[in-house]
Amino acid sequence: MRTGEPLPAVGDVLAALATGLWRWDNAAELVTLDAEAARLLGLPAQPTTVTEAGARARFHPVDWNEVKPVVQLAASEGTIAELRMRVMDGQGHVLRTVRSRSKPTYDRETASYQLVGTLQEVSEPPPGAAARTPVTGDWRRSREAFLLDAGRALAEARSTEEVLRVAAGLSMPGFSPDGLAVFGVQGDRLTLIGHHGHHAGGDEGPFSAMSVETDYPAAEVVRTGRAVYLSSPKHYQERYPAAWPLARGFGRQSWAFLPLIVAGRTLGAWMAAFTYRVSFTPDERSVLTTVARMLAQALSRAGAAESERELTDGLQRSMLPNLGPQIPGMSVAARYVPTGGGLQVGGDWYDMIPLPTGRFALVIGDVQGHDVRAAGLMGQLRIALRAYASEGHRPDAVLSRASRFLCGITHDEEVADLRFATCLYVEVDPATGVLDIARAGHPDPAIRMADGTVLTRPTAGGLPLGIDPDADYPTTRLALEPGETMLICTDGLIETGGHDLDTGWLRIRKILESHDGEESHLEELADALVQAVHGPSSHHTTGPLVDRREDDIAVLLLCRQGKGCGCGDQPATPTSVRRTVLTVAQAEPERVAGARHQLRELLHDWASEDQVDSAVLLVSEMVTNVLVHTDADALLVAEMTGDAGSRRMRVEVTDCSDALPHKRQPGELASSGRGLMLMELLADAWGVDPRGEGKSIWFELYEPDGSGDPEVTPTT
């Protein structure tokens, strides 16, 4: 070629170099070839256009599968897509190996691309390089196995620390970084989330709060969303001269900085550093890009989970109170265990409220639902109850006002989202042990007596809060004797694990009875109750539990210190007194059945079943007579004293009527008049004692010894 002559046409030059041109329109599924490109694909040496399927038939299927990921990677990085592909003849034999270099454009909306590039025949790669090319399946299989393992490990990581630990342990096929760092973005600052393998040789301080406008590779990746590959220290120094002094001290030879992108938003950057030179071939960049995507997803999930846990802990700390100062003569323990789903904060709560009278109130409740809405209503209701109690209202008034309050904040909303709450409110006199209890649809309390006997205490109750703004809540008065412990809880403790109210109480009873005062303190008993359902837990918190959580659990234990109680510093010794008190109102005849049940629980270990049946029959007769023949309520007091095998049971029923009962001779068809006759036949001793206002009818039974003969001296 003489000086000054025009340059030859590009096509002529490429043809002279045995290089063909091709255009691939993925959307139209057409491939356009010039004559040389057609020849290289085994077609007649003339310009032609073939379908995508026709072009695919000319290549090895394994190599064809590499096209799309390489094109996507090159399009995202703005680089050249380079492929080495085997051309096949019609009999499945390899004709030649060609190299394609093209500039892709990728449409994310249609997931289609266009390629304009060259095809050139190349020789087969040497054996040492075969593992690094798409031509052989060895490296590909190793890569796929690595990505599967890496994806599984990153998906199982539950915290940012775990994600970084997994990322640090990844062993990539053929090349593995020995140092990594993960950068995040806060405002206009680049933050160092975590790193591995960079402890020696350099100072990581400058990287911890760097401006995103800094001339540093990670900052550029965050700004542009494109990866940066630096294959040598010289390359690093030339491209980022200002940042090179910071990186030089770590002694690395190659670096890859990749964006961490989730849902189209760049969350940060990942740096993989190598102590040896890495050329960052398309295959290596493909692996790094895939790992970066998985790492971004894992960090996003871990960050969301950590934010959720932080919110949960904050809600729990703000909603669950401290139990306050030590109460002379009494001890209190509490536990809260949320359900396993969502924010792990539901509608269960407990509270302890100092009252103006010098007493204190224990409150436990359960707002319907296990979601954020339930937690929010619970917080509002707890504040309202505390306010009403602090004003000095009695238990019934506190619950009435709370029900009206809950109706007011829920009935203005859609009917589909109406909520109610169950609640148990106990006003405690620490000096006397008197408990004034008001109940709104909540489970009754249970009492563990000093000798280990457990009774559920039936109490008067009303509708759950939030259903009827004018609902009434009667008050029941009980007395907590020295050495006794009261349990109040939400239904999650009772019914979790497939139990109903009856079988759930049996489970609780066994736990309460098995923790005797000599071995157990109140905190240990609270742990035992929760562990029976969920396994180990910690105080007022939610440690890792088994996945049987079906409902929130709130538990409150109140112990009046004394003999037989393991909650104080006094040594626990067995007691020989067992006592229960129950009031049956004129308007509550259904509580006669509760009185029979209470007496059976009190006599659960009595030696003679016949005597137990007799006592239950007599109590039923005595209480019913009060309701039928007087206008007063019946007060039942049952007390058992003595040691096993020689105990005495005394039952008194007191009313306010002055009319004394007298024996009658009822006819065969008479419907009444047999009460005192039964007393004479079944009781070991009985009597009627006038009181200042009213009277008391009593009977006694004496437990037989091994021979069946009672050894207890009757009392009158």
**Whether residue 186 sits in one domain with residue 90:** no
DSSP-assigned states of every residue in 556-613: EEEEE-STT-SSSSSPP---SEEEEEEEE-TT-TTHHHHHHHHHHHHTTT-S-HHHHH
- Other CB atoms within a 10 A radius of the CB of residue 690 amount to 10
The CATH number assigned to the domain holding 665 equals: 3.30.565.10
Q: Choose one of 255, 277, 311: the last residue of a domain.
A: 311
Asked, for residue 603, whether it belongs to a domain, the answer is yes
Residue 411 has a pLDDT of 66
Is 404's pLDDT higher than 90? yes
Asked, for residue 710, whether it belongs to a domain, the answer is no
The CATH number assigned to the domain holding 273 equals: 3.30.450.40
Q: Which helix (H) or strand (E) holds 654?
A: strand 648-655
Is 87's pLDDT higher than 80? yes
Residue 200 has a pLDDT of 44
**pLDDT band with cut points at 50, 70 and 90 for residue 546:** very low
Whether 496 and 548 have beta carbons less than 8 Å apart is answered as yes
Round to whole Å and give the CA distance between 370 and 505.
23
**Whether residue 669 sits in one domain with residue 619:** yes
**Whether residue 295 sits in one domain with residue 329:** no
Model confidence over 608-647: pLDDT tens digits?
A: 999 999 999 999 989 988 888 888 888 889 988 888 778 9
User: Looking at residue 551, what DSSP letter applies?
Assistant: S
Q: Hey, which residues does 582 pair with through a beta bridge? A: 636
Across 46-66, average pLDDT = 86
715 vs 373 pLDDT, higher one: 373
**Whether residue 520 sits in one domain with residue 409:** yes
Residue 373 has a pLDDT of 78
**Whether residue 307 sits in one domain with residue 342:** no
Out of 45-59, 129-143, 187-201, 422-436, the most confident range is 422-436
**Whether residue 682 sits in one domain with residue 651:** yes
**Whether residue 500 sits in one domain with residue 367:** yes
Number of domains composing the chain: 4
**pLDDT band with cut points at 50, 70 and 90 for residue 163:** confident
**Whether residue 150 sits in one domain with residue 28:** no
Asked, for residue 671, whether it belongs to a domain, the answer is yes
Residue 563 has a pLDDT of 59
> Full-prediction pTM beyond 0.75?
no
Asked, for residue 298, whether it belongs to a domain, the answer is yes
Least confident stretch, 28-32, 105-109, 469-473: 105-109
**Whether residue 671 sits in one domain with residue 582:** yes
Asked, for residue 233, whether it belongs to a domain, the answer is yes
Mean pLDDT, the chain, whole residue set: 80
Round to whole Å and give the CA distance between 52 and 104.
16
Across 303-324, average pLDDT = 69
Asked, for residue 715, whether it belongs to a domain, the answer is no
Is 253's pLDDT higher than 60? yes
Q: Choose one of 91, 124, 157: the last residue of a domain.
A: 124
Residue 614 has a pLDDT of 93
User: Looking at residue 92, what DSSP letter applies?
Assistant: S
The CATH number assigned to the domain holding 70 equals: 3.30.450.20
Across 344-349, average pLDDT = 71
Round to whole Å and give the CA distance between 122 and 97.
6
Dihedral sign, Cα of residue 364, residue 368, residue 373, residue 377: negative
575 vs 516 pLDDT, higher one: 516
DSSP E strand boundaries for 108-245: 112-122, 179-186, 189-196, 209-211, 228-230
**Whether residue 407 sits in one domain with residue 306:** no
Residue 322 has a pLDDT of 66
β-strands 209-211, 348-354 pairing: unpaired
The CATH number assigned to the domain holding 348 equals: 3.60.40.10
**Whether residue 306 sits in one domain with residue 330:** no
Round to whole Å and give the CA distance between 511 and 350.
21
Model confidence over 588-614: pLDDT tens digits?
A: 888 888 889 889 888 888 989 999 999
**pLDDT band with cut points at 50, 70 and 90 for residue 488:** very high
Asked, for residue 416, whether it belongs to a domain, the answer is yes
Model confidence over 261-276: pLDDT tens digits?
A: 988 888 899 998 988 8
Asked, for residue 228, whether it belongs to a domain, the answer is yes
Closest CA to 49 of 35, 64, 70, 59: 35
Domain of 390 in residue numbering reads as: 324-534+550-560
Residue 128 has a pLDDT of 41
Helices 160-168 + 137-156 axis angle, to 10: 160
Q: Choose one of 311, 336, 359: the last residue of a domain.
A: 311
**pLDDT band with cut points at 50, 70 and 90 for residue 477:** confident
**Whether residue 296 sits in one domain with residue 344:** no
Closest CA to 627 of 586, 663, 588, 660: 586
